[in-house]
Amino acid sequence: MARRFLFWGILLGVVALYLFAIFPTRGLLSERSQLSSARSQLAILTKENAQLSKKVA
């Protein structure tokens, strides 16, 4: 009986650790990657807009 409670307690602790530590970290890393990609696209578009503005002027 005590082993069963110990098993479920450890299992619950591991699941809680995953939900509160590992799972959000994966989301943050994904967001960081997307943000980096968006910044590089913004830099390219800004450069192209400057070139087009020079052609128009």
pLDDT in tens, 1-57: 889 999 999 999 999 998 888 878 888 889 999 999 999 999 999 999 999 999 997
pLDDT of residue 36: 96
Decide if 13 is inside a domain. Answer: no
Range of the domain at 36: 32-57
Cα dist. 1→10, 12, 16, 30 in Å? 14, 17, 23, 43
pLDDT of residue 46: 98
Cα dist. 6→1, 2, 15, 19, 21 in Å? 9, 6, 14, 20, 22
pLDDT of residue 38: 98
pLDDT of residue 50: 97
Decide if 54 is inside a domain. Answer: yes
Domains in the chain, number: 1
pTM for this model (two decimals): 0.59
pLDDT of residue 28: 87
